[in-house]
Amino acid sequence: MNATWRQRAACRGLDPEIFYPASDEEAEEAKAICASCPVRQLCLEHALAFRERDGVWGGLTERERRRVLRQRRKSA
Ligand code: SF4
């Protein structure tokens, strides 16, 4: 896997717990960090491609990523 984008991740070195909130409601802190991340789109595409189940990736929670996948399937 090409992980170069990870080196530019805004979450690098931060407490990973921030990105694994107990619920979507508690994901705000992670989402705020992702919002200013220069590799947000790459991170999101990675999570979608690898079907990452847990945590916030590219600013989206698992539930939100499932929605994106559903929408993409519909419009494919
Ligand atoms: S989008 Fe969020 S989870 Fe992904 S690399 Fe950036 S800060 Fe980390």
CB of 46 shorter than 6 A to ligand 1: no
The mean pLDDT of the chain is: 95
Tokens of 64: 């939100």
The CB of 57 under 6 Å from ligand 1? The reply is yes
Domain ranges in the chain are 16-75
pLDDT in tens, 54-73: 999 999 999 999 999 999 99
How far apart CA 5 and CA 8 sit, in angstroms, is 5
pTM (2 decimals)?
A: 0.92
Closest atom of ligand 1 to CA, residue 10: 7
Q: How far apart are the CA of 57 and the centre of ligand 1, in A?
A: 6
Is the CB of 60 within 6 Å of ligand 1?
Answer: no
CB under 8 Å to 21, separation ≥6 — which residues? 27, 29, 30, 56, 61
